[in-house]
Structure 1
């Protein structure tokens, strides 16, 4: 089942007996870090006008590979060829000069700057040696309109949502002429409408002969836009296969070396007493307007909607991260409206944020400290003002084993782990104290299929143990397959409540937009 990229041998090649010469080619490329061989003699070809998907678990070598192609890293050995000629990519600037532009999963924006300043940072328009702000604004406005992104050039990035910041990152790649476009989990924070717009743009650049390297853990996206798939595992090349004809199960097997019976586990819902009640809640910012919902013990309640619909903000308001202007929040029958995160934690409500780097974790601190942080005053982590280092270490080590943290080194800094393992650390934090209601906001953003399965099983086990789960996701299949009830948000309001067999893709999507007045 392994196909060498020189021979390819996939179904797409039989349909096209004379494939285009490679636009970009890697031959026997390796990259070593101290004590780690991140990439081991990998071969890869990108043709003009194709979407070539890089597929693999977190830590498989995908990020290392695209960082080298983008000029951010130098290979330890091996050869790069661009348009048939050997090339050494000395820097990001050098790569961009060749038309190679990357949109990385981790943002590289300056929060204090505006959208237009970020778009052209390092490539500003000047006039007589001075910054030409009018030209800067006009160029940024033209790019954003072309891409169809609802952004204002003069808005400061720090005031944008994560999805809007993702749009800025994507827009940066389109500021100059492209030959190779690298997209690393570009839809992780986008919903269906924004994703569809991005895919239209990809089709446009494909038609212009641009080669696209695309990283995603969403199998449905591979079918929608992929031409070929190269699978990496543990830094090594595994196979190059056809994106349209290779079964999903075979892709997962190639990626992990394991066979999964199903991606989404079956959940035995046993709804009990109401744990969380939200009545006509309106936030001070206006992001949520008169929203009402409930979560019972033993059920998973999904929240769906477009970016900015209010689905995340309602959970943040319940947890005390968004100021509430009107309405009520009750937890286990008690009024908790406007209480802060510290009090909500004590009352048994835990919110897992979507941005693990900025809100969820201390990246430079070890796993042990991150996991124990919400519960330092509770046994076994501490007793009042004193910490119990032995009890803390034992408890964190057990949680790391339960979540299969790899490697299981709890004294290692979180930033040294792959994205999927960082997400496991974030989830482990929620298991350090008694919790009755969990709010998971985009819990699988940027993680591989194997980690997704582990996270889904983690959520299932919590539900079946009697917890109430609020699942907020821009990945619609998660809401469809894991929820027994779902609320659809539009412009801050609850547009619909669906239950059981009503939770279908057609019905959920039909409420994503404004309905005609009755």
Structure 2
């Protein structure tokens, strides 16, 4: 890629203003053909605004855009696609009840007279999917596909015309490691075709594999653009947040007290023979590859999956066969990695919405005339102050908040539970570094208040920096329990692939 080549995309002093807010402030950006250019920044940095302008979903308030040196103006998303710019957003535009072929050809349907030519759609969809290396049956409904397969269908829709620019917004947020590998192979094949790729992600560990250059945004402004081979994770974090990386992870005092949770020889679907303990005032980290069983183990503890055998004691009480509600009442609380489907109530209930999400159901104002609404409101405000949810977001329903602010609300629920053991399953998935730092401080506060904390994470730096002890799982078994100097990346990775945990 020659630095002297004419950029495929060039943005100069691009600006977007909303009433009272400058969402994007005179940003310069360029993309070369055959390049992967990462956009990196915290929630609210301006990434989504920039890609909405390039996708044709919004119009700029100032500045210029060009494609192959020619001025660029859009009337719609479809207009941007006609010009060769296609965006795969986090929320796909697929219709789940229609087939793969029908989704791929939506808006491009071939006709036989006045009728849709379904045979041609199926044949051409099969050809397009095969050409892109996607093993998907064009005749199945989209609802039957995994998220990774749905993403492949969404990408395939971009290849009706002359694709020049593909924009991927958090494409790996809910993919397995194998699916990520497939996606990256595909992106590299696009580079070889000369397609320019704009890649938005919070997963900084991915950049070395995929990026040529990285542009960092903060508060709507461009901080800088760097070549991937001339930077590192620490420098990128400091550019993004204005803080050194060692300021992101707090030092959590280890105040080990009594044993609160004891697990002996626990087995469930995909997990066998797990044993460990957790004490008050400590953070126990849990690491492992996708499919290692790390989430299944703790879902079984919470009664969300059946036990095959084994014993679970909470504060000396046997809760092995207890239902989830009874386990929560006994003092153990679990925050799911799936905040939208299992963690938050996203229904639009106006002023009740935050209360529904922050305080247990029997405290939330409803039709009962006997609920102390003033007390509930006071508790909600206390929690919102605690998690530092900005004043401007407090009257919004949770579904309208960013992923980072939704995660703050999910963490806020912890402070309404008064539990003894907290289990955080992938607590910062899809969350920027600034919000991560705030959530880590909440974990520190809970731990140093004498709670037992369990952090399950696929982010190895996160789990290593927060934990006092670390469990490693592979093939459904605990392959190591590490502490102190043994909690090094090379040691942990060795146990990720330990075959001794595999069942024959």
Partner residue of 1:142? Answer: 130
2:79 aligned counterpart, secondary structure = helix
Q: Residue 313 and residue 211 in structure 1: after superposition, are their counterparts in 2 closer, same or farther (change >3 A)? A: same
**What does 1:160-309 correspond to in 2, within 5 Å?**
164-166=146-148, 168-170=150-152, 172-174=154-156, 176=159, 178-190=163-175, 192-246=177-231, 248-259=233-244, 261-283=246-268, 286-309=269-292
Name which of structure 1's ranges 482-491 and 47-56 shifts more when overlaid on structure 2: 482-491
User: What TM-score comes out, normalization by structure 2 length?
Assistant: 0.84
Question: Is 2:343 aligned against 1:360?
Answer: yes
Q: Report if aligned partners of 1:68, 1:75 keep a CA contact under 8 Å in 2.
A: yes
Whole-angstrom distance in 1 between the partners of 2:490 and 2:244: 30
Distance 1:329 1:461 in 2: 26
Q: What is the root-mean-square deviation in Å for CA atoms of aligned residues?
A: 3.6
1:21-66 deviations in whole A, cap 9, x for unaligned? Answer: 1111223333344554322333321111222221222111111211
| Partner in structure 2 of residue 389 of structure 1 | 373
Distance in 2 separating the partners of 1:227 and 1:420: 27
Matched, 1:92 2:77: yes
**Equivalent of 2:116, from 129, 139, 143?**
129
**Change beyond 3 A, Cα 1:375–1:451:** closer
Distance 1:31 1:124, change over 3 A: same
1:444 deviates by 0.8
Aligned residues: 493
Equivalent position of 1:105 in the other structure: 90
Shift of 1:362: 3.0
Classify the secondary structure of the residue corresponding to 1:238: strand
Q: How far off its partner does 1:427 sit?
A: 0.5
> What is aligned with 1:5?
none
Q: 1:372: how far off? A: 5.1
- Worse overlay, 405-414 or 81-90: 405-414
Once residues 180 and 304 of structure 1 are traced to their aligned partners in structure 2, the CA distance between those partners, rounded to angstroms, is: 36
Question: Hey, what's the Cα distance between the residues in 1 that align with 2:17 and 2:373?
Answer: 35
What is the CA deviation profile of residues 413-445 of structure 1, one whole-angstrom value per residue up to 9, with x for unaligned ones?
223433212211110011112111111111111
The one of 400, 403, 413 aligned to 1:419: 403
Q: For residue 495 of structure 1, report the CA deviation from its aligned partner.
A: 4.8
Note the alpha carbon deviations across 1:148-194, whole angstroms, 9 max, x for none: x8x8877766677xxx4145325531452642122222233345554
DSSP-derived class of the 1:204 partner: helix
Query: Is the Cα contact below 8 Å between 1:54 and 1:216 reproduced in 2?
Result: yes
- Cα distance in 1, alignment partners of residues 446 and 480 from structure 2: 23
Matched, 1:454 2:438: yes
Q: How does 1:372-387 map to 2 (within 5 A)?
A: 373=357, 375-376=359-360, 386-387=370-371
Structure 2: gaps spanning 5 or more residues: none
Q: Structure 1: any 5+ residue segments left out of the alignment?
A: 1-11
TM-fit CA distance, 1:357: 2.6
Give the equivalent residue in structure 2 for 1:480.
Answer: 464
Aligned residue in 1 for 2:424: 440
Rounded to whole Å, the distance in 2 between the matches of 1:341 and 1:36 is 44
Distance 1:136 1:293 in 2: 54
The answer to whether the Cα contact below 8 Å between 1:170 and 1:186 also exists between their aligned partners in 2 is no
Whether contact under 8 Å (2:352, 2:365) holds in the other structure is no
